[in-house]
Structure 1
Amino acid sequence: MTSTSRPNDLRAELEKLTTEAFRPELAEIDRLSTLEIATIMNGEDASVPGAVARELPRIAAAVDAIAERMARGGRLLYAGAGTAGRLGVLDASECPPTFNTDPTQVVGLIAGGPPALVTSVEGAEDSAELARADLETLGLTADDTVVGVSASGRTPYAVGAVEYARGRGALTVGLACNPHSALAEAAEHGIEVVVGPELLTGSTRLKAGTAQKLVLNMLSTITMIRLGKTYGNLMVDVRASNDKLRARSRRIVALATGATDAEIESALTATDGEVKPAILTILANVDAPTATHLLKTANGHLRTALTAALD
């Protein structure tokens, strides 16, 4: 094989991807006014939710499988390179403050490690072995879920992570933005949100990145709903780590119970600021230790604990 064979092969491979397609109708976009370009971009972005909607049955199936694993102690692990990896790390990092999860429960892995969050780490995305090493470091188990994220659906790091995880018995999900992708094929649950060619040829931080963010929002948020991290649409497991979140905690208790400010302060003081047991003390008229016990028996599901308390 000549030194130019591999680049030529990769070029031919990329030319087959919808996310890499050239759009001749936009070849002179740089000559348009700023408002015209913004209008075109907005129209492009408006097509993304429809592409996600076509994958909702597969997204829902993946969520149910993820929640089942996490309910028995498994973790949710994202693996990707570049924009896809950064989005996974972002989604994972927002779970502790939003749902009071342990930082080890939802983890984002990016090819090249933390430095790759802010700068390109050359060659990292091309290494399936690196993905395997990253997952081995985490001590992957059969109760875990690995979500490979890649716009092209061919990134070796993401595909390698899924292949290794599946070989270890872990649940696997492949999120791509091209049809018939190697990533979706490698995973038990393939999700392919086909958003079409980008405004800027091959710039998958645009529609593809938006689509990935929407799907990751669903995977983590609905999984947490299934795990009892919410009460209705209230974030009752929110971690009050700053003044804004402490104010939000009081508001959540108020919305859930309709209690007075004094009752809310008393309940939150008794439960060391924990929203879920505070709500239960008010709605079920029980003390804080009883509320904590009821929630433990109900595996953290407030609605189930409330039903048990009122029966």
Structure 2
Amino acid sequence: MTLKTEQLHPLASTLDVATLGGAAAALVDNQVDAGRCVSACLNVIQAGADKMARCVRNGGTLYYVAAGSSGLMVAADAMELGGTFGIPSQQVEILMAGGIPTSAHMPGDVEDDVESLEHLLVNMTSRDCLIAVTASGSTPFTLRAAELAHAAGATVIGIANNTQAALFKLTDHAIALDTPPEVLSGSTRMGAGTAQKIALNTLSTLMGVALGHVYQGLMVNLQADNIKLLGRARGIVQQVTQVDEASAASALTRSGGDVKIACLLALGAQSPELARAALIRSQGHLGPAISRLHSHETTL
């Protein structure tokens, strides 16, 4: 059986004889169609995101595993978790076949190299979560990682672009992205990769929501480690609390750069320690902590 990701798209044979404008339209439309396929997976994405949040909350590690262009998708998602949601770097591992490229050359034979995984996943436990991504669903490196994670009792979330993927036999949450064949046949960095990125974006952002790191559409647990993000953090405090810029900056200084605590301080919490205690009671969610403050709980 020919994998769907390797089948010919009806427009594939016309790509090189069409006008550049016609080829561009075919390529864009194909990727848009691929992106729409993610909508059919919302329930399983939601369940997977909840497990990712539990993993982080319980001190576990998120392991992102893939090869080739899928590896670039997982690396992009994993590397954003710290800055966007304040997930500690020690709780995120990126296992890309051959390692993350440092040049424009990305070797293909490394996706068959499974020997290193025994060592890389030796400390995996049932607290951890593996996010495994492969367009074909049969990449040896990714399948072996899923096998090891499954044996360790870790939660396995699988993303593949073939609905009968071998990967899904090893997963707790199977995200089957039924994307159409590529207009450039087999180039899964395009439609398949687009759908993978949307699924990963949704998974990690829902995880952030579940952890309480999103409030009214704002990244209230971001790590402000550059001028741009410091300005964003100050703007978030202003937007949530309606204080002026100087007051927001002062609250951020008192909170040590913690946006949630800064918001509570700007709203009248007596100390960073009391604000932090309020957040612990609300499991990290800012909204309930603000509600307690507005109800004049003396513990704040």
1:96 equivalenced with 2:87 (yes/no):
no
The TM-score normalised by the length of structure 1 is 0.89
Amino acid at match of 1:134: L
In structure 2, the residue matched to 1:132 is 118
Whole-angstrom CA distance in 2 between matches of 1:260 and 1:249: 13
Name the % identity. 36
Amino acid at match of 1:45: Q
Contact 1:198 1:206 in 2 (8 A): yes
1:54 equivalenced with 2:36 (yes/no):
no
Task: Give the superposition deviation at 1:152.
Answer: 0.3
1:263 equivalenced with 2:263 (yes/no):
no
In structure 2, the residue matched to 1:154 is 138
Whole-angstrom CA distance in 2 between matches of 1:232 and 1:196: 35
* Cα displacement string for residues 107-155 of structure 1 (whole angstroms, at most 9, x for unaligned residues): 221011134774323422113333333222xx21110000110000000
Whole-angstrom CA distance in 1 between matches of 2:257 and 2:274: 16
Task: Give the superposition deviation at 1:42.
Answer: 1.6
Whole-angstrom CA distance in 1 between matches of 2:103 and 2:41: 28
Whole-angstrom CA distance in 1 between matches of 2:166 and 2:251: 52
Q: 174-183 or 270-279: which moved more?
A: 270-279
Determine which of 16, 24, 31 is the counterpart of 1:30. Answer: 16
1:111 equivalenced with 2:107 (yes/no):
no
In structure 2, the residue matched to 1:278 is 262
Q: 103-112 or 197-206: which moved more?
A: 103-112
Q: How many residues end up aligned between the 2 structures?
A: 295
Q: Secondary structure at the match of 2:159?
A: strand
Greater relative contact order (Cα < 8 A, sep 6+) = 2
Which runs of 5 or more residues in structure 1 are unaligned? 1-14
Task: Give the superposition deviation at 1:72.
Answer: 1.2
The TM-score normalised by the length of structure 2 is 0.92
Q: How has the CA–CA distance of structure 1 residues 205 and 156 changed in structure 2, closer, same or farther, with 3 Å as cutoff?
A: same
Determine which of 203, 228, 231 is the counterpart of 2:215. Answer: 231
Q: 142-151 or 101-110: which moved more?
A: 101-110
In structure 2, the residue matched to 1:7 is none
In structure 1, the residue matched to 2:5 is 19
Q: How has the CA–CA distance of structure 1 residues 170 and 83 changed in structure 2, closer, same or farther, with 3 Å as cutoff?
A: same
Contact 2:62 2:93 in 1 (8 A): yes
Structure 1 runs (4+) greater than 4 angstroms displaced: none
Q: How has the CA–CA distance of structure 1 residues 116 and 175 changed in structure 2, closer, same or farther, with 3 Å as cutoff?
A: farther
Task: Give the superposition deviation at 1:233.
Answer: 1.0
1:301 equivalenced with 2:285 (yes/no):
yes
Q: Secondary structure at the match of 2:89?
A: coil
Q: How has the CA–CA distance of structure 1 residues 140 and 55 changed in structure 2, closer, same or farther, with 3 Å as cutoff?
A: same
Whole-angstrom CA distance in 1 between matches of 2:54 and 2:221: 19
1:244 equivalenced with 2:254 (yes/no):
no
In structure 2, the residue matched to 1:75 is 61
Whole-angstrom CA distance in 2 between matches of 1:294 and 1:82: 44
Whole-angstrom CA distance in 2 between matches of 1:50 and 1:103: 32
Which runs of 5 or more residues in structure 2 are unaligned? none
